[in-house]
Chain A
């Protein structure tokens, strides 16, 4: 049966500078995105049966995420695809793969542009710059 709403990606990433552009990219690909800033937030989302989640894309270095989260998900009565990424490059690459299979007919932009954006933002933060 065809789903009535867009598939939902649970994005688990503890760094907002990485999480926000990744989430926006996935939204532009047609997904609904539930953002989790920690493994704990991800577990809250997954434990709520009313919250639709089809794919979990999780950074392995975020507290409470990684293999511990993956193992916990296996104990839950949820049918979700779990993707673990160990680096920002891998996370962006996997987001690009999800995007290719996503509900949008065409990709909004190449995923390497997301990586460029993240690197520039991380650089600005590291230099203590930035503007509102």
Chain B
């Protein structure tokens, strides 16, 4: 599934059948139960050329990954409906796939499960999207090494 977009989020990471490097967009999973916040950050990321999957809960995000969804970065809210918090999702993904970048976002974060990056809420969508794409590109490069 390809689409012509701005190239900011593209990273040279795959070889085609003939061995030539291919530019493919970075893949970001946005996990957020508030649909307008989710849509806003996802659209900002798409504007920058990222391929974005939107999950409405940590459980849904885990479902997506269990079904074979491949991501470079997970950007997840912490407090959401369901049996799993964003911090728990982050810890599970980190344990299984250390190359994937994970950022938890919360207005009031106090969970012990996650000691990695946390972004306070509310966040500016445009600047945040640009930073997330940078991190996803970095994660992609590290994952290739």
Contact = CB atoms under 8 A, between A and B. Distances in A.
A116 interface: no
A108 B1 contact: yes
A132 to B, nearest CB: 4
B1 A25 contact: yes
Interface stretch (B14-22, B62-70, B107-115, B125-133): B62-70
Nearest to A50: B36
Given A41-B35, A129-B66, A130-B67, A35 B3 contact: no
Interface residues of B, number: 30
A44 interface: yes
Contacts of B56: 16, 37-38, 41
A51 B37 CA distance: 13
A130 to B, nearest CB: 4
B1 A28 contact: yes
B35 A132 contact: no
A128 to B, nearest CB: 7
Interface residues of A, number: 34
Nearest to B74: A132
Interface string B30-72: 0000011011000100100001011111001101111111110
A120 B67 CA distance: 8
Given A35-B39, A132-B100, A16 B53 contact: yes
Interface of A: 15-17, 19-21, 23-25, 27-28, 32, 34-38, 41, 44-45, 48, 51, 108-109, 120-122, 124-125, 128-132
For the complex of A and B, the 8 pairs showing the least CB-CB separation, nearest first, are A37-B56, A125-B67, A132-B97, A130-B66, A121-B67, A41-B35, A124-B68, A17-B67
19 contacts: A16-B53, A16-B55, A19-B54, A20-B54, A24-B51, A32-B43, A37-B35, A37-B55, A37-B56, A37-B57, A44-B35, A108-B2, A124-B67, A125-B67, A125-B68, A128-B66, A130-B68, A131-B97, A132-B69
